Amino acid sequence: MDRSFPEILKKLHEIEIDYADGEGIDFEPFDEFYSEEETSDWIKAWTGNDTLDGNEYLIYGQDGTGGYVAFWCVRKNADLLEQPIVFFGSEGEVGVVAQSFSDYVWLFANGIGPYEAVAYPDLERPKSQDFIRFATEYAPSSKSTASQIVEKAKAEFPDFEGIIDRLCQ
């Protein structure tokens, strides 16, 4: 799998994320994907399953507690930016956040990060003008509310949480 960090993801990560003392987006972006070794160590620790290698995940950010955000490379022959985005919380929270990168950027435009999308998918927050500009430029056809984005992702991947539960030991 190509582990090159997409330029558009780098551009997204250049936008300042305001945590706003817990009232904003809880997300700390990375400048590169976790290495294969780091990902393997993480998935084994997170699930308690030493048989996993985590190769289907490209981790590129975390929340303040250490929960990870990743592309879940589950669509055969699809571009990386067309892969779903998932969240693994430090306290066992897990969920599909968005169907693709285009949907994902609209979460941020709606003032919602990956953690909030899993924990509080119907949360209403002030919109972020910087993220709206980015989403409008790079993903204009994906404009949606945060709850619609999460609902679409869960509808396409309804068993993601079950898949992960079955991997845990």
Q: How far is CA 74 from the centre of its chain?
A: 14
pLDDT of residue 97: 97
Check pLDDT > 80 for residue 22.
Answer: no
Regarding pTM above 0.85, the answer is yes
Q: Are the C-beta atoms of residues 121 and 152 closer than 8 Å to each other?
A: no
Q: Report pLDDT digits (tens) over 100-114.
A: 999 999 999 999 999
Distance CA 136, CA 42 (A): 34
Does residue 87 sit in helix, strand or coil? strand
**pLDDT exceeds 90 at position 56:** yes
